[in-house]
Amino acid sequence: MGLMPMDRSERIGLIVSGGAHAGAILWLLVGGIFFSHDMPPPVATAEVSLMSQSDYDAMIAAAPKAATEAPPQPSLPEPPQAEPTPPAPEPDTQSDPAPQPQPEPQPEPDASPDVTEIAPPQAEVADTPPTPPTPPSEQVASADIVTPAPQPKPADIVAPTPNEAPDRPAEIAPDKTVEVAPEPTTDPLPEPQTEAAAPKETGDVLKTEENKDKVASAAPEASMRPRSKPAKPKPAEAAPAEARPAPTETAEAPAPTEAPTDAVADALSEALAGEQSDTPAPGTGTAASGPPMTGGEKDALVIAVKQCWNVGSLSTDALNTVVTIGVTMEPGGKPVSGSIHMIGFEGGSEASARLAYEAGRRAIIRCGQNGYPLPAEKYDQWKEVEITFDPEKMRMK
Amino acid sequence: MTPHRLLPHRPFAWRAFADRMEPGRAALNSLSNRTRWGRAAAIHAAGIKANDPREGKAMTFIRSLCVALALTGLAGMAAEAQTGPLRITITDGVIEPLPFAAPQFIAENPGAAEVAAQISQVVAADLTGTGLFREIPASAFISPVTSFEAPVAYADWKAINAQALITGAVSAGTDGRINVKFRLYDVFSGAPLGDGLQFGGGQGDWRRMAHKVADQIYARITGESPYFDSRVAYVAESGPKDQRLKRLAIMDYDGANVQYLTDSSTIVLAPRFSPSGDRVLYTSFETGFPRIKLMDLASVSSRALAELQGNMTFAPRFSPDGGTVVFSLSQDGNTDLYAMKLSSGATTRLTNAPSIETAPSFSPDGSKIVFESDRSGNQQLYVMSAGGGEATRISFGEGRYGTPVWSPRGDMVAFTKQNAGRFHIGVMRTDGSEERLLTASFLDEGPTWSPNGRVIMFTREGAGAAGVAQLYSVDISGRNLKAVPMQGGASDPDWSPLLP
């Protein structure tokens, strides 16, 4: 069938018809996205299961016969025994640890007052400015009537250079702390060899015309011998500790050494310590950052620190102060003592913030003596830690 | 022809629609043998699947957009998490005494050996007596301290968990004077905690010097103001309950250095220190009626505060500036509060009610007075302006409240409460909120605050004829309840301000 010539009216109709169809098609394709103005509310999806008539009949048969029947009442749990009324906090005078340093003979009540004994102290106790080498007694005597100020004056320093005394800085090095720690040390786990001895991956080398010979020659001609067993930690470090007289009161052992007695925590700590040699130096950019810290890993750090956060001796003002402390961690999980600093505080004076900071610093150092249980592969994420100590739950209610 | 050109699009569009309809159609086709439950479920499933294709595209677009945004946000969060420090928050710790080591102070000459040992004991006893510190016994020490100037072996003290280390030395001069010096170290920080300090005094003042040393240590570690170098005035009691002999006495806060200020010929009550600690107000029955007297501690001389013949005056208390005394005066069977200027003797009536108003106590700033009154029918606590006027009731718990004492910090009021046959010492905010009972016994009464407002001392008396009144102290946290070590009975304590 050949095409019939169209007159003008037919062409116009064709054009109109074509345009209308094209517009309709375009509207169908994209109009739903851009011009839809009355989107129905999203239909809630729900998982449904289809049930056959036989299944339904079986279920009905298994159902309780009378729907109105009261279901059996669950048995109530055994009520807790009434807690006896706590007795009044009667002080135990027998075991009273109250101090009676030197029980002095008390004067018998007599008929006349001890007039001669009640003269108030004439402020003999005086802050006397110390003279570093040998304070001459004349100076002290001359300061008898000086009323000591509540706060020590700078001149009251006993020795002008109290810090020069520690001539043995090595004794406060954290290494030594580890030596004398009474933590029963087991043999350290051998360092993981798999990483060091793993053969290089050659399969990813792209073979080209230029390097085809090199690639061929890069193949190991002989299997590599595994590396020797890593050396155990030097026993010489522990020797001085053994040579020292052991503390007679084992109960005085540091709390943190008892806290991580969990075998898993010990193994993790040792593993972390063993991997230190393989851990790149901080800041080189080669350390593996690993996946983000999990909540459990963060909680482990929180639990480890809070065991040593003792607020029992803090003032009531310090207990109203929230302090944030920053600390840099070693790859082994030990805090760098010199890096501990106060980032900020809220809710208290500077004096109370200082006390709160000192309590937090003690907690970080005490419980970090043996390293915190932190994942070594994520060192970049816990190299810098900010700990906020919020004593709200520890305040007197 | 034109429809033919359009046809290829139409089957595509309809096919897509038909494909989307297919699951619903299949589901609908299987309805014939379904139950009503199954049919409804199938219709619901078909309805879900048989949506308009426009909606499907829109939903796909929106979902893609949401996924892209979520991925972008997660990537940002991940990048941020990897760059910033690890942040954790600790909200609970432990409350336990802080262990400290206090090796015996070094005697720098032979004459100081005995007093060095005594001072060491008092310092340690002061600290442990607070309940906030625990002394590590010397038997646990790894390395002895042989010289005051010797370097500190921090590792050795860390090993025994000593968190604070106190070193000291005592020297005795030929003139009978002694010097005591000490240093305090934060062991785990490996640094001194404050500067070293030295005190000098006579041989007889070694206890005060020991208290001064302990005060410094306590203040540096806890942040609280100290209270060891302070005294307590009280009523020393002897004899059976029905013939009790009472004397005014004064002692160190720890029960040492007891000195009697009056004889036992007259009953005395309620000694109250002046803010400067050099005078004591008390109530004497010397004339057969209670009368307030003022004693100068330096001369141990007393005089009647107010010559109000025929009237009974009692329950006196100094104002914070020491220039005014507020007290109760019973006249014609009615008891009200009065204030007297010590300089002029001028008396001002503060209350005027038919009830009994007594036991007044100034706020530290001197602007208000808390007292007890039975104007509501039984004893309750009220606060009013120091110049008198309308009083506001602050106690609303069950039982009766009495003997209120304003805290030196100004934030709390200590009181005696009697309820259900038992007596309590308690504290509350000055507006009556946050009431806490710290003790409970057959008879607890008469609280007094330590100079720093951290400890409360009070009288506890046992039941029966053999019950003896004793002084007890308790931390405002309710911990560390203990008897003050002293011989004989004692009641009605009043804690002095910190000695200069």
Same domain, B316 and B452: yes
Same domain, B125 and B170: yes
Same domain, B198 and B246: no
Same domain, B136 and B59: no
The CA radius of gyration of chain A, in Å to the nearest whole number, is 40
Strands B86-90 and B422-429: unpaired
Do B180 and B199 touch, CB atoms closer than 8 A?
yes
B94 vs A181, A247, A309: nearest CB:
A309
Same domain, B358 and B286: yes
Distance of CA B242 to the CA centre of its chain: 37
Same domain, B248 and B395: yes
Q: Is pTM, for the whole model, over 0.80?
A: no
Do A293 and A316 touch, CB atoms closer than 8 A?
no
Mutate to test the interface with B, among A26, A57, A106 (most CBs of B within 10 A): A106
Cα dihedral A372/A378/A384/A386 (nearest 10): -70
Task: Tell me the residues of chain A between 193 and 232 that have a Cβ less than 8 Å away from chain B.
Answer: none
Is residue B360, in this structure, part of any structural domain at all? yes
Of the listed ranges A155-164, B163-172, B410-419, the least confidently predicted one is A155-164
A143: distance to nearest CA of chain B, Å? 8
Q: Could you tell me which residues are beta bridge partners of residue B441?
A: B423
Q: Does A351 touch chain B if contact means CB atoms closer than 8 Å?
A: yes
Is residue B89, in this structure, part of any structural domain at all? no
Cβ of B300 and A118 within 8 Å?
A: yes
Average pLDDT estimate for B417-432: 96
Q: Could you tell me which residues are beta bridge partners of residue B372?
A: B358, B381
Q: Decide: helix, strand or coil at residue B439.
A: coil
Distance of CA B340 to the CA centre of its chain: 32
Q: Decide: helix, strand or coil at residue B208.
A: helix
Of the listed ranges A181-185, A319-323, B293-297, B476-480, the least confidently predicted one is A181-185
Going by pLDDT thresholds of 50, 70 and 90, the confidence category of residue B497 is very high
Other CB atoms within a 10 A radius of the CB of residue B346 amount to: 10
Task: Tell me the residues of chain B between 7 and 46 that have a Cβ less than 8 Å away from chain A.
Answer: 9, 13, 30, 33-35, 37-38, 41-42, 44-45
Q: How far apart are the first and last CA of chain A?
A: 101
Q: Does A96 touch chain B if contact means CB atoms closer than 8 Å?
A: yes
Domain boundaries defined on chain A: 296-397
Average pLDDT estimate for B6-21: 36
Dump pLDDT digits (tens) for B248-270.
Answer: 999 999 999 999 999 988 899 99
User: Domain range for residue B111?
Assistant: 98-222
Same domain, B298 and B417: yes
Q: Does B125 touch chain A if contact means CB atoms closer than 8 Å?
A: yes
Average pLDDT estimate for A149-159: 39
What residue in B sits closest to A295 (Cα-Cα)?
Answer: B88
What are the chain A neighbours of B53 within 8 Å (beta carbons)?
Answer: 32
Average pLDDT estimate for A258-272: 42
Cβ of B86 and A386 within 8 Å?
A: yes
Same domain, B173 and B235: no
Cβ of A120 and B277 within 8 Å?
A: yes
Tokens of B193: 């905690």
Q: Decide: helix, strand or coil at residue B15.
A: helix
B298: distance to nearest CA of chain A, Å? 5
Give the architecture (CATH level 2) of A296-397: 2-Layer Sandwich (3.30)
Cβ of A93 and B260 within 8 Å?
A: no
Same domain, B40 and B112: no
CATH number reported for the structural domain that contains residue B275 in this entry? 2.120.10.30
Return the H-helix or E-strand segment holding A300.
Answer: helix A295-306
d(CA A321, CA A390): 7
- B381 has a pLDDT exceeding 50: yes
- A381 has a pLDDT exceeding 60: yes
Average pLDDT estimate for B382-390: 95
What are the chain B neighbours of A358 within 8 Å (beta carbons)?
Answer: 186, 189
Going by pLDDT thresholds of 50, 70 and 90, the confidence category of residue A27 is confident
B9 vs A25, A51, A397: nearest CB:
A25
Residue among B373, B450, B449 nearest B413 (CA): B449
- Eight-state DSSP code of residue B374: -
Other CB atoms within a 10 A radius of the CB of residue B401 amount to: 29
Cβ of A248 and B140 within 8 Å?
A: yes
Other CB atoms within a 10 A radius of the CB of residue B226 amount to: 23
Other CB atoms within a 10 A radius of the CB of residue A248 amount to: 13
Q: In the β-sheet with B334-341, what is the strand arrangement from edge to edge?
A: B312-318, B324-331, B334-341, B347-349
Give the pLDDT score at A92.
38
Dump pLDDT digits (tens) for A223-259.
Answer: 445 444 544 444 433 334 333 443 334 334 344 433 3
Cβ of A101 and B125 within 8 Å?
A: yes
To the nearest whole number, what is the mean pLDDT of chain B?
A: 85
Q: Could you tell me which residues are beta bridge partners of residue B293?
A: B282, B304
Average pLDDT estimate for B216-235: 95
Q: How far apart are the first and last CA of chain B?
A: 116
- B186 has a pLDDT exceeding 90: yes
B181, B200, B222 - which closes a domain: B222
What are the chain B neighbours of A308 within 8 Å (beta carbons)?
Answer: 93-94
Do A326 and A360 touch, CB atoms closer than 8 A?
no
Dump pLDDT digits (tens) for B33-62.
Answer: 333 333 333 334 333 343 455 555 666 666
Do B286 and B295 touch, CB atoms closer than 8 A?
no
Same domain, B359 and B319: yes
B90 vs A90, A168, A305: nearest CB:
A305
Strands B380-385 and B391-393: antiparallel
Same domain, B370 and B491: yes
d(CA B246, CA B260): 10
Q: Decide: helix, strand or coil at residue B206.
A: helix
Q: Could you tell me which residues are beta bridge partners of residue A384?
A: A328
Give the pLDDT score at B62.
63
Same domain, B199 and B269: no
Instruction: Give the CA angle between residues B200, B204, B207 to the nearest 5°.
Output: 75
Is residue B84, in this structure, part of any structural domain at all? no
B71, B89, B120 - which closes a domain: B71
Domain count, chain B: 3
Average pLDDT estimate for A133-145: 33
Do B281 and B271 touch, CB atoms closer than 8 A?
yes
d(CA A119, CA B300): 8
Cβ of B179 and A109 within 8 Å?
A: no
Is residue B429, in this structure, part of any structural domain at all? yes
Q: Does B95 touch chain A if contact means CB atoms closer than 8 Å?
A: yes
B173 vs A90, A137, A312: nearest CB:
A137
Give the pLDDT score at A67.
37
